Every structure is written in C-alpha cells, then in structure tokens.
Chain A
Amino acid sequence: DAKTTQPNSMESNEEEPVHLPCNHSTISGTDYIHWYRQLPSQGPEYVIHGLTSNVNNRMASLAIAEDRKSSTLILHRATLRDAAVYYCILRGGMDSSYKLIFGSGTRLLVRP
C-alpha cells in the first residue's frame, strides 16, 4: 500500500488560510488522493478527494502537483471548528480493494 507523509502538527490563526501538505512519492496511476479529518470525540469526516486535477468543494480545495507526488489541502479561512487531525490517504482502485489506509495525520491547531 502506498504511503503518505504529513507533518505531525501545524498551527494557524482564525480566519487565515491554511495549507496542509502531504507527500506521496510512491503513488500509482490509479490511486486517488483523499483527505479526511477527525474532530475530537468524533469519527473521521470526508473532506475532499482528487486524482490529477485540482478540486474545490464547499469545505476546502485540493491542489495536486503535476507529478502527483505531493498534494496540499487548502482551508481558505480557518475557523475554530477546523481544529482537527487531518489525514491524507491514497485510495487505490480494484487492485487495492478500495480500502482506506490512514497514516498518523496532521493535528491542526487554530488560534482565535
């Protein structure tokens, strides 16, 4: 299973943008890049996913490098509610049976 590397923790000020990096140098051509986050005392929550092109949704944006060996989750205006552990996950196609392999994630602290 391809692995991802994320910083253990990051800090941000409220209402400022946050860029959460993820390295995945062993990504294969069929791996999708997924991001989930886990707020305290809750199950993980889907944030966004993409394959090759940058993606936007109401929660965040995902910027994928041209060689796909890294990606960045962008929260445009951090709020206190965004304080969570963010997981960058590679989810493979049929050869990986679609399972999610979680790493240790990045703990995001948002300062008021």
Chain B
Amino acid sequence: KAGVTQTPRYLIKTRGQQVTLSCSPISGHRSVSWYQQTPGQGLQFLFEYFSETQRNKGNFPGRFSGRQFSNSRSEMNVSTLELGDSALYLCASSLSRNVGEQYFGPGTRLTVT
C-alpha cells in the first residue's frame, strides 16, 4: 500500500506570494492533519480534516487555510507569505480520528525569500 504522498517536495516562493501544498493520504484513510516544522518552534499542529470538514485548528494566523476533498486528499494554502513561513510542512493521515497511529508523509520544504 502506498504511503502518504506530498507534492511538491520543494518550493521556493517570494514574500507576499501565496502557495498551495497537496497531500494524498494512504488509501482508505479519512483523517488528514497538517503540521509545520521549523528549527526554532519544532513540530506544530496546523489543522485536522475529517469528512471534508476542519475538525481542529492550531494557533496559526488566518493566512493558513486548508481543505479536504471527497476522496480524502487535502490541500493547505498559505497566503501573503512571510519569511517566517519557511518550514517543512508535514501531512499525516489516519484511518479515522480516534485511531492510534498517524502516518506522516515526507513533507514539503517551503523556502520564502
């Protein structure tokens, strides 16, 4: 069974631009969560989607948004990029919300210049 895939793997953007990252969960998994990882703040929870609905959101500004499609694939969008948004963005999927393990993708490395 294929793992969690994220596209693109690397991205360079300029301040003020917007970006969309994509995540395809493991087949059959319905819950998708997004995390941001930076050297200074570590791994931080962004949001969680289940059945096309955002179920929980972390402490990030409204510039960070996401959505989930009927096939459980998810996208996250960051508008008006800032230098501090440079990070590794990780997507994780699980069968359902209350299942023990989450399976992480390799991440998208975003660099904002």
Contact = CB atoms under 8 A, between A and B. Distances in A.
Interface in A93-109: 93-94, 97-105
Interface in B39-75: 42-45, 48, 55-56, 58
Counting chain A residues whose Cβ lies within 8 A of the other chain, the interface size class is 20 to 34
A101 B45 CA distance: 7
Main secondary structure of the interface of A (DSSP, over half): loop
Interface of A: 32, 34, 42-46, 49, 87, 93-94, 97-105
Contacts of B31: 98
Contact of A34 (B42, B43, B44, B100): B100
Contacts of A93: 98
Interface of B: 4, 31, 33, 35, 42-45, 48, 55-56, 58, 90, 92, 97-98, 100-107
Contacts of B107: 43
Given A98-B97, A99-B56, A46 B42 contact: no
A104 B44 CA distance: 11
B42 A103 contact: yes
A49 B103 CA distance: 14
A45 B104 contact: yes
Contacts of A103: 42
A3 to B, nearest CB: 13
For the complex of A and B, list the 10 residue pairs with the smallest distance between their C-beta atoms, beginning with the closest: A43-B104, A102-B43, A46-B101, A97-B56, A49-B100, A44-B104, A98-B97, A99-B45, A43-B90, A99-B56
